[in-house]
Amino acid sequence: MPEKVRAVRHLEFLPDSFDGGSNQVLGVLSQDNIMRFINIETCKLLFDIGSPEEGISTAAISPNGRYIASVMENGSLNLYSVQALTQEGNKPPPSMFKVVQDGSKSTSETNKLIMKVTPGRSEGSWKSRGSKIQTRLLKLQGNASLENKENELPGGLNKKRLRALLKGFGEYPAKYRMFVWRSLLQLPENHLAFSSLIDKGTHSAFVNIHNKYPIKSRKLLRVLQRTLSALAHWSAIFAETPYIPLLAFPFVKLFQNNPLICFEVVATVVVNFCQHWFEYFPNPPVNVLSMMESVLAHHDKELLQHLIKYNVTSQVYAWPLLETLLSEVLTREEWLKVFDNIFSNHPSYFLMIVVAYIICSRAPLLQCNQAADFEYFFHHRNNLEITAVIKEAYRLMEATPLDIHPQRMLEDFIPLTKGQYPIFNKYPKFIVDYQAQERERIRQDEMEYLKERQLAHESEAKAEEQKAEDEAWYQKQKLLREAEEQRRKMLLEEEEKLAEQRQRLAAIKRDLKVKELQLLDASRRRFLNYQQDQLQMELKHLDDEIARKASMREQETAAAVQDVEIRRMELESQRQLFEQHLIKDQEAVTKEMKEKVDAHQRKVDLEDHCVQRLMEIDREENQKAQTVTEGNVAKAEQKRIDTDWRLQVLQRLRRDDQDREKCYEELVKLLHDNRVREAELLKAMKETEEKKWEDIIQKEAQLEEEQKAAAAADEHRKQFLDDKINDALELSEKLEREDGYFERPCDLKARRTERGVEVQQVLRSGNICLNDLSAFVQSPHLSLDRRRELARQERELMAEVRRLRQRLISQAKSRHPPAHFPATTWTP
C-alpha cells in the first residue's frame, strides 16, 4: 500500500468465475476515499477508482464480479465496468516523447533545450477523475537561467505559462484548479509533521467553536475544528486570533476532503499573504492598513477624502475585507477567480485587489453618508464586476510608485519547508502568552466551578434521594393510616347500612298497615257497579305500586309481603261481598270519598317525603359536624404535639446552653488558676535565677582568689626552687675547689654561666624533672659522700614538694571543682 494510506475503511474481494472461487483480487477502501484493487498473490496494484476531489463514501461489487457501484461524497452514484478497468490496466505503457521548448534568445542553443518526459498512460485514461500525469523536467545542460528556475513549479508546471493562461481566460480550469494551486503554493505535504499536530488533539481555544459558528454540516465543522487546532498547536498566536476561523473557513470548505492540503494552504496564506498582520496584535495591522491607505490616496484622493469626512477609517473599509479574505463580499466563483490571480502574483497583489475593490465601488460609496451604511457595504455582497476589479488591481500594481508600493515592504513568496513546518513567531509574544495564561486560568476556574457544581449536584442528588426515601416512608405510613381509617369507615358504613335497612323494613311494615286500612275503607265506600272498571284500574295501580315497593324489599321482608298478599285476597273477597251493599250509593258520595282519599294519600306521601328528607338532612348535618369535629380534634392534637415537640427542643437547647455556660465558667476559672500559678512559677524561677547568678558571681570571685593564691604559691615555689638550686650549685663549686680540681677561672665562670642558662630555660619551660640529675651533676669527679649528700637533699626537697602539692589539691577540692593548672604539673 502507498505510504499515504494510514487507515482502511472497507475490504471486499472481487469475484472471478475463472479462478475457481479463490478470489485473488482484493478491494481496499482507505481513509483518502480511494478504492484500490490489489492482486494478493503478486501484491501488484491492478487499478483504483475515486480521487481526493471526488472521494468514495461506500462501494459494492456485483455477485458475478463484473460491475462496481460506488456512492461518492458529493452524493452521486458511479458504476464501473471491471472488464474495462482491467483492459485499460493491461495496455502496454506508451512510448516516451520529447517536448523541446525555446528559451531566451540570449542563451545558447544547448541551454534552450528542455526535455519533458511523461511516464504513464496517454490521454483517454480509464479513470473517471482523470489521471494526474506527473512530469519531470530533465535539463540537458545545468546552466539554466535564474528566471527559468523561478518560473518552474512542482508537477512540471511553468509559472510564466500559467500567468499567460490566466490572462487569456481570467481563471484556471475548475477541473485542474486545485492542482494548479498546490503547484503555485509549492505545498510540501509534510504528512508526519501534520500528523503530529493532529495527534495533539483539539485545542482548548476551539473546543466550543460550534457555539460561535453553528455550521449545519458536522463534517465541515469537524474539519474546521481540526484545522484551527493544528494552526494553534503550530503557533500560539492563532489560538488568540479571533478572525482566524473567518480566514480559514473558505479553504476548509474547499479542501474538506483533504485536511493536510487544507492546513498547508492556510499556513502558506498566513505566512506569505498575511505578512506583518500580527505585529500589533491584538489590534489590526496598522502598518498594512496604512500602506493600503497610501495607495488609495494616490489613486483616488476624492474617495479617501469622502471616507475621512464621515470618520470611516481603514479599519472599516479595508480590514473587514482582509480578515475574511473577501469571502463575505464575493460569491464562490468570484472568490475562486480572485484567488487564482492572488496565488499567481506577488503577495502585495492581495492588498492591491482590496484597494481595487474599494476604488471600483466608489460610486455607491460616494452616496453613503452614515457609518452604518459603510459597515454594511463592506460586510455584504454587492453588484460588482469582479473582472473589472482584477484588471484594476493589475493596473494598480503597475501604476503605483515604488515609494508607496506594498511590494517594497512585503517579502517575496516563500513556500513552506519540507519535513517540518517553519517557526512562526512574528507577533508580540508577551501579549499572546498573557492571553493564553488568562485563558488557562479561566479554564482552570471553570474546571473548579464544574467540579464544585458536580459536587453540589451530587450532594443535592443525595439530599433529594434521602428526601425521597423520607417522603416514601412518610407516604407509606400515611397510606397505612389511610387504609386503617378506610377499614374503620367501611365498618361504620356497614353498620349504618344495616341500621338503615332495619329502618326501611319497619317503614315498609307501617306503610303496609296504613295501606291495609285504606283498602278496607275504600272497599266499603267507593266502589259502584258502573265504576267497577275504574276501581279495577285503581286497584291495579295500587298493586303495581305495592309490587314495585315489594321488589325493593330483601329476603327479611319476603314473609311480610306474602302475608300482605294473602290479606289482600281476603280483602278482595270481602270487597265483592260489600259491593252488593254499596252499589246503591250515589256517585257523588263515591267521588267525594275518592277525592278525600286522594288528598289524604297525597298528604301522607308528602309527609313521608318530608320526614325522609328531614332524616337525610339530619344525617348529613351529623356527618358534616362529625367530620369537622374530627378535623378540628386532629388539628388540635397535631398542634399540641408540635407545641410539645418545640417545648422539648427549646428545653433541651436551654439545658445544653446552661451546661455549656457551666463548662465555660469552669474553663475560665481553670485558666485564671493557671495564670496565677504560672505567675507564681515565673516569679519563683526569676528568684532562683537571681540566686544562681549571685552564686555564680561569688564562685567566680572565689575562683579568681584561688587562682591568685595558686599563682602566688607557684611564684613562691619557683623562688624556693631557685634558691635551693643556687645553694646546690654553690655547694658543688665549693666541693670541687676542695677536692683539688683546679680549672681556669674563665672556664669555671663559663660553665657556671652555661649551667645558669640551662636551669633558667628548664624553669621557663615549666616541665622540670627533679629526679633528672643531669641538670645538677656537672662533673663525674665528685666524691661518693658528696653525691649521697646531694641525693639526700634532693629527696627531702621532693618530699617537701609533694606535701605542698597535696595541700594545694585538698584545698582546691574543698573550695571548687578540680581544675587543671599546667604550670604546676610536676613530674616526681
pLDDT tens-digit profile of 170-219? 899 988 899 899 889 899 888 999 999 999 888 888 888 888 888 888 88
Is the confidence at residue 54, as pLDDT, over 90? no
3-state secondary structure 434-453: HHHHHHHHHHHHHHHHHHHH
How high is the pLDDT of residue 296?
92
- Most confident among 328-337, 579-588, 665-674, 816-825 (mean pLDDT): 328-337
Tens of pLDDT, residue by residue over 214-272, are 888 888 999 999 999 999 899 888 888 888 999 999 999 999 888 999 999 999 999 99
The CA distance from 727 to 651, in Å, is 111
Tens of pLDDT, residue by residue over 288-302, are 999 999 999 999 899
How high is the pLDDT of residue 161?
86
Mean pLDDT of 789-805: 81
Among 53, 62, 58, 52, residue whose Cα is nearest residue 9: 58
CB atoms within 10 A of CB 388: 13
Give the CA-trace dihedral at 370, 373, 379, 385, to 10 degrees.
Answer: -120
What are the Cα distances from residue 201, in Å, to 192, 264, 387, 482?
15, 18, 42, 62
Mean pLDDT of 785-793: 77
How high is the pLDDT of residue 783?
52
How high is the pLDDT of residue 116?
33
Domain ranges of the chain: 8-90, 187-273+423-453, 285-421, 507-674, 718-824
The CA distance from 280 to 409, in Å, is 16
How high is the pLDDT of residue 19?
53
Helix ranges, 132-236 (H): 146-151, 159-169, 177-185, 191-199, 209-212, 218-234
Q: Is 702 helix (H, G, I), strand (E, B) or coil?
A: helix
The Cα angle at residue 753 between residues 748 and 759, in degrees rounded to 5: 125
DSSP code of 413? P
Predicted TM-score (pTM) of this structure: 0.42
How high is the pLDDT of residue 656?
77
How high is the pLDDT of residue 657?
80
Q: In which band, very low, low, confident or very high, does the pLDDT at 147 lie, cut at 50, 70 and 90?
A: very low
Can you say how many angstroms the Cα of residue 783 is from the centroid of all Cα atoms in its chain?
116
How high is the pLDDT of residue 585?
67
Contacts (Cβ under 8 Å, ≥6 apart) of 382: 329, 361, 364
Question: Which of 194-208, 496-510, 526-540 is least confident?
Answer: 526-540
Question: Which of 152-156, 514-518, 600-604 is least confident?
Answer: 152-156
**Mean pLDDT score of the chain, rounded to an integer?**
77
How high is the pLDDT of residue 121?
34
Tens of pLDDT, residue by residue over 90-125, are 444 443 333 334 333 333 333 333 333 333 333 333
Percent helix, strand and coil across the chain, each rounded to 5? 65, 5, 30
Mean pLDDT of 25-37: 89
Q: Is 714 helix (H, G, I), strand (E, B) or coil?
A: helix
How high is the pLDDT of residue 447?
79
3-state secondary structure 16-64: CCCCCCCCCEEEEEECCCCEEEEECCCCEEEEEECCCCCCEEEEEECCC
Mean pLDDT of 656-673: 81
Give yes or no for a cis peptide into 282 (omega within 30° of 0). yes
The CA distance from 5 to 8, in Å, is 8
Is the confidence at residue 85, as pLDDT, over 60? yes
Among 288, 304, 316, residue whose Cα is nearest residue 359: 304
Q: Which residue has the higher pLDDT, 725 or 226?
A: 226
Q: In which band, very low, low, confident or very high, does the pLDDT at 669 lie, cut at 50, 70 and 90?
A: confident
Q: Which residue has the higher pLDDT, 683 or 746?
A: 683
Tens of pLDDT, residue by residue over 604-658, are 778 777 877 778 787 777 777 777 777 777 778 778 887 887 788 788 888 878 8
Residue type, 101: Q
Among 775, 791, 792, 787, residue whose Cα is nearest residue 739: 787
Tens of pLDDT, residue by residue over 679-708, are 887 888 888 888 888 888 888 888 888 888
100-122 as b/e: b if 16+ CB within 10 A: eeebeeeeeeebbebeeebeebe
Is the confidence at residue 409, as pLDDT, over 50? yes
**Residue 62 half-sphere exposure toward CB, CA atoms < 13 A:** 12
CATH of 285-421, one of 3.40.630.30, 3.40.50.12780, 3.40.50.2000, 1.10.472.80: 1.10.472.80
How high is the pLDDT of residue 349?
93
Q: Which residue has the higher pLDDT, 815 or 39?
A: 39
The CA distance from 826 to 767, in Å, is 7
Can you say how many angstroms the Cα of residue 800 is from the centroid of all Cα atoms in its chain?
99
- Which residues on adjacent β-strands are paired with residue 137? 116
How high is the pLDDT of residue 744?
45
Tens of pLDDT, residue by residue over 536-565, are 787 787 778 777 777 777 777 677 667 777
Question: Which of 78-82, 382-386, 400-404, 566-570 is least confident?
Answer: 566-570
Mean pLDDT of 398-421: 89
Which contiguous run of DSSP H or E holds residue 80? strand 77-81
**Sheet hosting strand 25-30, strand order edge to edge:** 8-14, 25-30, 35-39, 44-49
CATH number of 8-90: 2.40.10.480
- The single residue listed with the C-alpha cell 465543522 is 221
Among 512, 495, 499, residue whose Cα is nearest residue 559: 512
The CA distance from 189 to 267, in Å, is 12
What are the Cα distances from residue 361, in Å, to 345, 367, 379?
23, 10, 13
What are the Cα distances from residue 40, in Å, to 6, 19, 26, 44, 730?
19, 13, 7, 7, 133
Among 528, 815, 526, residue whose Cα is nearest residue 698: 815
User: In percent, how much of the chain has pLDDT > 70?
Assistant: 80
- Most confident among 113-117, 320-324, 817-821 (mean pLDDT): 320-324
Among 273, 264, 391, 259, residue whose Cα is nearest residue 326: 273
Mean pLDDT of 14-23: 64
The CA distance from 708 to 710, in Å, is 5
Contact 589, 525 (CB under 8 A): yes
